[in-house]
Structures are given as structure tokens and as C-alpha cells.
Amino acid sequence: MTRRGFVRTAAAATLLALVASAAPTAVAENRAEALVRHARRVATHEAYTGVVEVYWQDQDHRRYVERVAARGLGGAFVVGRGDRRVIGHGDERLAQDGGSDVGWTAKAEHEAPAPDAAWHLKVSGSGIVAGRPVTFVEAQDRDGRARAVLALDAESGQLLERQILNRRGDIVRSVAFVQIVTGAIRPAVPITPDSGESAPVAVDEVPNGFLAPTTAHAGYELLGRYRHADGSVQLFYSDGLFTLSVFEQQGAVDWDRLPPGRCGPIADHRTCSYDTASGTIVVWSRDGLVLTAIGDAPSDRVVAIVGDFGDENDSGWTADIANFVLGPFGWD
């Protein structure tokens, strides 16, 4: 072999080695993202009946465990226990709580970001959940810390467990099937009643005086704006993996009447926050609005939106004027 031939062969071998080492990682990442997407599709079509365990820590590190039932068939489902449950079918939801019914009909106005848009997803292993083999998908933040673990049924792809981790890697919240039966079953699922006139209404623009930023901290993108019967506004965001709602009510926070929580300043705003079974809640105020953000992401991701939420409000008339004047010059 000539010297030139040797160099070419060595270069080709090095390139092959690099490709070979990188390929499994890329495949694993693509597989993780595909598994998460698939889980969302099967969630509304799989026939199942089971018991779900909910675990969470509140802001004072007290721990709670509760169990509820869940059944699904052909796109309809019911989750809850006794007279406190949520019935769903397609885009319709009805929460029943001791005779008080609250309805929702929500179509996604905008497509959500990809599951891995704000998180690094990777298949982290396999195991058993509720007696079924599962594949674990780990969501890592930009610092490489695992902040969520999803357990996906190895056979059907259904999400069987979701764990939320704090920065130290401890589980602070989880929802997991502890028993589940799937396959050729026909669980009893009630028909979703009419959601009624009190259901929130999707709107294209929020009323004057309300904020509606199209993005929020850490990759949240606005997917929908809703007007509630009491005049409040709900903005619904997703970062691809987690969701976040920001509720806006005109007025000032009555701090004395808020329940005890983790209260203190965040980014020069007075806030109170709470860790609940559903996620993290943070209440603050700006521009004559009482803002309440509720999200299922790790707590630090939710409260971080307080810092710059609404700083770049592009939905108001001032932004429209600015766009009209500056648009032709490309000054975005």
C-alpha cells in the first residue's frame, strides 16, 4: 500500500468509527421522541381499566399518596373516584365534583412544539410497571440533569408512569398505574354530557388590558387563548413535553386571603407558590392583573416564567402600531 493509500484508508476508517459511535445515540434520541409521540396517540384509543397512584410533595416537603380509578375505551375515558371524576371524549371534558359540573371543549389552536424541543430525551432503560414491561424515557435539562422519567408500555406504547424530579434527582411528583388490564376488554365509560354555557371559549385576541405573550420562559409556546365566564383569561402554553396555563384576572392580589404557601420575591415580583398533586402554582401581579401560572413541569421551570412574562407583549395595539410602522423596514 502506498503512503497516500494508507492515509486514505485510515481517514475512511476514522470516519466510519465516528459515524458508528454517533448513530446509536441519534437513534436512541429519535426513538425516545417517537415513543413519547406514540404514547399520546394511544392514550385516547387504548382500552384499559386500572388503578392509578398519585404521589406528591407539597412546598413544605410533606408527602401524600392517593389512588384513583381510570378507564378508557375508544377515545372515551373516565378518571377519578366516587363523585369526583373527569369524563372525557375527544376534545370534550367534564369535571364532576359532588354535583358541580365544569365543562371544557378545547381544540388545539396551534400545533405544540416537538417533545424534544426544550428537553433532551433519551431511552434510559427498561423495567416493570404495574406488572407490565416498560421502556423508560428520560427528559434531561440543558445541564444534563434528569428532570422527568416516563415509563411507556413496551407492547402498546401507553404511558404507565410519569415521574417529576427536582434538581437533586429526587422524585417530587408521580402518577403511575399500579394495576392495569388492557386488550380485549370493554370497560364501562360514561357518555360525556353537554359541557354547558360555562365552558371557556377560545378567542383569537385577548381583551384590552390583558397580556398574551406568544412565548414564555424556557421554551413555552402559546397554543390557545380562552375566555372564562367570569371574565378571566386563560393562556395555554406547551414546551413540547409539559404544559402551562397562565390565568389572568383584573385587579390586585388579596395576599391576606391566599392560602399559606411558599411566599417571597421572584424577579422583583411578590409571589406565592404551591406544589400540588397536579403541578406547581405561582401567583403574582403586574400591570393591574392577577396572574396565576399552573404547570406540570418541574417547579423551578414553572416559577421561572414570573421573571419576564409579558415583557414582550406582542398582542396589544401598541405592538400593532409598532409592527405597522417598523414592518416595512424589517425592524423586528
Residues 51-90 touching other proteins, rule: CB under 8 A, are 52, 54, 56, 64, 66-68, 70, 72, 77, 79-81, 84-86, 88
Closest distance of CB 33 from other proteins, Å: 14
C-alpha 89/C-alpha 71 separation (Å) is: 12
Q: From residue 62, how far is each of 133, 262, 273, 280, 302 by CA, in Å?
A: 31, 13, 15, 14, 20
The site string for other proteins over 23-42 (x = CB under 8 A, - otherwise) reads: ----------------xx--
Show Cβ contacts of residue 328 under 8 Å, excluding neighbours closer than 6 positions: none
The site string for other proteins over 100-139 (x = CB under 8 A, - otherwise) reads: --x-x-xxx---x---------------------------
Closest distance of CB 52 from other proteins, Å: 4
Closest distance of CB 50 from other proteins, Å: 9
| The one segment of 119-127, 210-218, 280-288, 309-317 that binds other proteins by CB under 8 A | 280-288
Closest distance of CB 191 from other proteins, Å: 16
Task: Rule CB under 8 A: choose which of 166, 214, 215, 250 binds other proteins.
Answer: 250
Q: Residue 107 CA to chain centroid, in angstroms?
A: 16
Q: Does 294 bind other proteins (CB under 8 A)?
A: yes
User: What torsion, rounded to 10 degrees, do the Cα atoms 189, 192, 198, 204 define?
Assistant: 110
Q: From residue 196, how far is each of 77, 113, 239 by CA, in Å?
A: 19, 31, 30
Residue with cell 365566564: 229
Q: From residue 243, how far is each of 53, 215, 220 by CA, in Å?
A: 21, 12, 8
